[in-house]
Amino acid sequence: MTNLPFTLSLSLLAACSSALALPSQTAMSAAPEVVRAGGPAALEQLLAKYDRMQPGAERDELAQQIDQVAAQKHATVSRMYWYTDLASAKAAAQKAGKPILELRLLGRLDEELSCANSRILRETLYAHTELSKWLRDHFILMWSTERPVPKVTIDFGDGRTIHTTTTGNSAHFIRDARGEVVDVLPGVYAPGPFRAELDKTLALIATLDGTDAAKRAQQVKQWHAQRAAASRFAWRGYTRGATGRQIAALMKDPPDQTAVERAQVVTVSKAYVEMPQLAGFGADPGAIDEDETAAWAMIGALQWKLDGAPILDASSKSLVVALHQAGPVKSTQAELDALIPRFEQHLVADSGLNELKLRPKIHAYLAEKPAEFAALDTFLYGEVFNTPVADRWLGLLPRTDVTGLAGDGALIP
């Protein structure tokens, strides 16, 4: 798969860097929770003020307030207002006549250390100028927390540390304006495939019966049965011939995978970040093969006809680089030039993996069972993401091998 040359707008990079600035110690001009009560309109007013200001400490402080009002980190880039409870989101959806797009994640979207998938979504989907506007125009946005996200600190003993998260996954639940779940997009998608799949779900919502709940439920089941069949048909097309047989092997999970490995391999872009760190502190995350990533990227490119098309826009790229360069360790320009195409390949690979391996499981479930959120969420995290709620330790405490630590290092408050 080819991509457009990597270029950055200096103005966009400056704006993204400003959005990363730490808050000043001075008091904000208005309490964010008070402003937040004004909804999306209040956020738009703050963003308009932000756009008129010159770079500096005062603008940086306003950026922090905007994040709190929007309930999302880097909201000066995404410009999205997120509801955080279903009742408020439903009220807004019914007033606007729009469906609800609910991000389900580990941790919180308004915190730096939310799960890796949600951080990637902030940099790619939500920071994408055209897609962000389209999402705001077509959906009421909401996020909810599956459970707290595990955080890891690696201390090198000389003052250097790495503080990050591990073993988390996220999904977008699509609800109609009534709040009824109709579809789920698991994990990370590239912007183009994400919009294409949401367009299909919007078309479903437009056909749903407005008065008969039983008929709506049957319509949703039939649609998912059709989508499951379409996924099987597409997969057969990709797995013909010798190359196809090699691709087909991607669907088979080795029987001896650890719990951590099963959870890691469902998201390519996250796995490249978390697997080396997990291995570094003694977990067994397995490995992800470059050829396997390339095969999934090829499938993703074929599925949505992406070959040669741009994946990320200038706004997304600028935020990716601003975050990448925000710490004390800097990459060279040559390293940055390689970073974006590699990341774009992973996003396309994730799109292919999600659509042909993970989402068919969801289609099959929804073709047979009611689209009830709690049961579907339990199925999603337990059977699709391999991080069941019953495993409080997310596979990180297997108790199968000697660690030399008292209680394997586990503490319970």
Q: Return the DSSP state at 83.
A: B
Per-residue pLDDT at 16: 59
SS3 360: helix
Per-residue pLDDT at 251: 60
The amino acid present at 291, given as its one-letter code, is D
Per-residue pLDDT at 413: 85
**Statement: the pTM of the whole predicted model exceeds 0.75:** yes
DSSP 277-342: HHHHTT-------HHHHHHHHHHHHHHHT-TTS--S-HHHHHHHHHHHTSSS----HHHHHHHHHH
Burial class (CB in 10 A: 0-12, 13-18, 19+), 29: exposed
Q: Is the pLDDT of residue 75 over 80?
A: yes
- Please say whether the beta carbons of 229 and 366 come within 8 A: no
Per-residue pLDDT at 338: 93
Q: How far is CA 367 from CA 81, 105, 381, in A?
A: 32, 24, 18
DSSP 111-172: STTS-HHHHHHHHHTTT-HHHHHHHHHH-EEEEEESSPPPEEEEE-SSS-EEEEE-S---EE
Tens digit of each residue's pLDDT (9 = 90 or more) over 97-131:
999 999 999 999 999 999 999 999 999 999 999 99
Q: Is the pLDDT of residue 139 over 80?
A: yes
Q: Return the DSSP state at 407.
A: G
Give the pLDDT mean for 174-181. 98
Tens digit of each residue's pLDDT (9 = 90 or more) over 181-212:
999 999 999 999 999 999 999 999 999 999 99
Contacts of 67 by beta carbon, 8 Å cutoff, 6+ apart: 73, 74, 75, 76, 110
- More confident site: 49 or 285: 49
Tens digit of each residue's pLDDT (9 = 90 or more) over 339-373:
999 999 999 999 999 999 999 999 999 999 999 99
Per-residue pLDDT at 11: 46
Per-residue pLDDT at 43: 97
pLDDT confidence of 383, banded at 50, 70, 90? very high
Instruction: For the chain, give every domain's residue range.
Output: 30-70, 71-396
pLDDT exceeding 70 applies to what percent of the chain?
83
SS3 398: coil
Distance CA 177, CA 284 (A): 43
Q: Is the pLDDT of residue 141 over 90?
A: yes
